[in-house]
Structure 1
Amino acid sequence: MDSTATDRFDAGRFEASRSRLGSLAYRLLGSATDAEDAVQDAFLHWQAADRQRIRVPEAWLTKVVTNLCLDRLRSAQARRERSVGAWLPEPLLEGDPMLGPADTFEQRESVSLAVLTLMERLSPLERAVYLLREAFTYSHAEIAEILDITESASQQHLHRARRRFAAARRGRDGEVDPASARRIVEEFLAAASSGRTERLVALLTDDATAISDGGGLIGKLLRYDTPRRVAAAARAGLRPTPAKRRLAGGTPVIHHSLVNGAPAILFVLGEQVVGTVAFDITDGKIAAMCGIAAPDRLARLTEAWRQHGPGTPP
């Protein structure tokens, strides 16, 4: 095989792994944009490597991407961005290849906005071990090789990560039927738009929370930590006003969708998604809401929405 044919063959081997590498990088970084950059950097490493000496390309590429992501998480810039309290994951529309794999509950949960946000409580190594083990089913021996740590250290990192998640998500395990989830969201929207506060509160768990990026305009996250505060915020956010119409350039249409595997609503103006709210539902009630409206976090979702089509508004 001549050098040109070899390069094409090797490029094909990388492309065969691109989707999996992208989904790993997205889970680690919480940003599709940063994940794409990490995968492209890995491709440059692949091109520069002595590929004849790489016995298992998939394992080699996984190690490179994982460590590139860890370098990004440990960078001074990332620490500044994530420490100011204005960071939320980049939401992705159902069907986005970066959301795969999604065959098991652990894989689907690992890409939810709730879990991606909780990842911020983990150290970079805890995050990597948790995802490699839970979402990608690597053994501790394989994880130790990827991260240059011992198997014992891998097991300890996983134990700490699981303990943190268990404490944060106590009583919120399991999946909800999509039809039931949509019905609950529809009831919530109806109650919020009509101003029925008591009905809103009744649809929330006793420890319901909500978080919003405030459209990226205020430099910090807005947090609501009681059912009544969540209900009040929902009423204020969903109530149309002339000021909101002027700011948005019109009245957005609300569409039901799935974002990061969770029931969600999209606020769409023309062909532009101007906001999304994802719901975490447990035992027939809303346990958490995550609102994202910063334009730079919605670019990929908007592009996917344009390709997918508008669907049917409620």
Structure 2
Amino acid sequence: MTSNRTTLEVEQLYREYKPLLASIAYRMLGSMSEAEDAVQDVFVAVSNLGGIDIKHPKAYLVKMVTNRILNMMKAAPRKRENYPGQWLPEPVIEFDSEDEPQGRVLRRERLGYALLVLLQTCTPPERAVFVLRESLGYDYADIAVMLDKSEAACRKIYSRAAAKIGQRPRSENEAALDASIDRFVQSFAQAIDTGRFETFIQLLTEDAVMLSDGGGIVRAALNPIEGRDRIAAFFEGIAGKGSLTGQLHHVWISGQRGLLLLRKDKPPVAFALEPDDNFDSIRAVYLVSNPEKLTRIKGEKELSRK
């Protein structure tokens, strides 16, 4: 009887906390498949322990998954060093469906693909402290307990992470950020539809950068493309070869607006944009065409590929 009750308790914890724990792991790892593995490992451990008899299961599970992620991230640099070309996080792509709990968490907590890319420039401890502080609102005392560090050390780690990631919009500026991204995405969509990129290119900063991830499976730029003129030449070149021909859809990419190009007999391509600190220009374009990273496309429309 106790075993059955324990199983039910673990299943209830899994249903209640899986979306949250997966979103935390995804922020830190940049891979949803690895994030789900981390969450699964945590609940296997909980099941082996016979459940958790504590008053605050959320904090306990967050600590468990954070420590599991930190262990997993020790191997990440070696994987990235051997990756062909630029490594970009795995995008979680959704049409406008509100049915997916993972997508709701990412949108509600305003992750955004651009922030996910920036998080990958941080060390594992910096990512952990930043996510726990910014996304979940934990105070430094709680974070210190979770990471077995002093409160002062956690403050310093957060400061280093924030310096790398740069300015983030305050709550009162979020509407302006959303409006800017919508405008940029609409301009990019029009450029792809018409093959005329002049107007979109003028939205880029002079030192804008484009990162392209084909994973060595499909052709992609192996190195960053830097500067407005070089990015313009890149898009005009691939458009001329027909690489941008297909069905273009406005989608959510890891919680922010972006574009998904569905192509006949070719892998899809996801596009995300990063605004500058003033939200009036684009400082980075992210292009993911690695088919192994484009398996998480939620919604009915993507099933109609032809």
Q: TM-score range by the shorter chain?
A: 0.7 to 0.9
Q: 1:182 to 1:141 in 2, by over 3 A?
A: closer
User: What letter is aligned with 1:308?
Assistant: E
Q: Is the 8 A contact 2:114 2:272 kept in 1?
A: no
Q: CA deviation at 1:61?
A: 1.1
Per-residue CA deviations over 1:121-165 (Å, capped at 9, x if unaligned) read 211111100000000111111111111111111111111111222
Match of 2:269 among 254, 258, 275: 275
Q: 1:87 to 1:175 in 2, by over 3 A?
A: farther
Instruction: State whether structure 2 residue 105 is matched by structure 1 residue 101.
Output: yes
Q: Is the 8 A contact 2:248 2:261 kept in 1?
A: yes
Instruction: State whether structure 2 residue 301 is matched by structure 1 residue 309.
Output: yes
Unaligned runs of 5+ in 1: 246-250
Greater mean alpha carbon deviation, residues 263-272 or residues 153-162: 263-272
Q: Distance in 1 between matches of 2:143 and 2:123?
A: 16
Q: 1:195 to 1:300 in 2, by over 3 A?
A: closer
Q: CA deviation at 1:207?
A: 2.8
TM-score (norm 1): 0.81
Q: Is the 8 A contact 1:193 1:239 kept in 2?
A: no
Q: Specify which structure has the higher proportion of helix.
A: 1
Q: 1:14 to 1:195 in 2, by over 3 A?
A: closer
Q: CA deviation at 1:34?
A: 0.3
Q: Is the 8 A contact 2:275 2:282 kept in 1?
A: yes
User: What letter is aligned with 1:73?
Assistant: M
Q: Is the 8 A contact 2:21 2:62 kept in 1?
A: yes
Secondary structure of 1:121's counterpart equals coil
Instruction: State whether structure 2 residue 124 is matched by structure 1 residue 124.
Output: yes
**Residue in 1 aligned with 2:6?**
6
Q: Is the 8 A contact 2:125 2:157 kept in 1?
A: yes
Q: 1:186 to 1:10 in 2, by over 3 A?
A: closer
Name the count of aligned residue pairs. 293
Instruction: State whether structure 2 residue 207 is matched by structure 1 residue 224.
Output: no
Greater mean alpha carbon deviation, residues 265-274 or residues 46-55: 265-274
**Residue in 2 aligned with 1:248?**
none
Per-residue CA deviations over 1:213-264 (Å, capped at 9, x if unaligned) read 14633697431121111111122233343xx59xxxxx52222222123332
Residues 189-228 of structure 1 correspond to what in structure 2 (within 5 A)? 189-191=189-191, 196=196, 198-214=198-214, 216-217=216-217, 221-228=222-229
Q: Distance in 1 between matches of 2:89 and 2:269?
A: 14
Q: Is the 8 A contact 1:210 1:290 kept in 2?
A: yes
Residues 289-304 of structure 1 correspond to what in structure 2 (within 5 A)? 289-301=285-297, 304=298
**Residue in 2 aligned with 1:64?**
64
Q: CA deviation at 1:198?
A: 4.5
Q: Is the 8 A contact 2:189 2:259 kept in 1?
A: no
Secondary structure of 1:69's counterpart equals helix
Q: Distance in 1 between matches of 2:265 and 2:133?
A: 39
User: What letter is aligned with 2:251?
Assistant: S
Q: Distance in 2 between matches of 1:219 and 1:234?
A: 12
Q: Distance in 1 between matches of 2:51 and 2:190?
A: 58
Secondary structure of 2:249's counterpart equals strand
Residues 241-260 of structure 1 correspond to what in structure 2 (within 5 A)? 241=242, 244=243, 251-260=245-254
Q: CA RMSD in A?
A: 3.2
TM-score (norm 2): 0.83
**Residue in 1 aligned with 2:256?**
262
Q: Is the 8 A contact 2:86 2:212 kept in 1?
A: no
Q: CA deviation at 1:50?
A: 4.7
Q: CA deviation at 1:4?
A: 1.2
Q: Which has the higher contact order (CA 8 A, sep 6+)?
A: 2
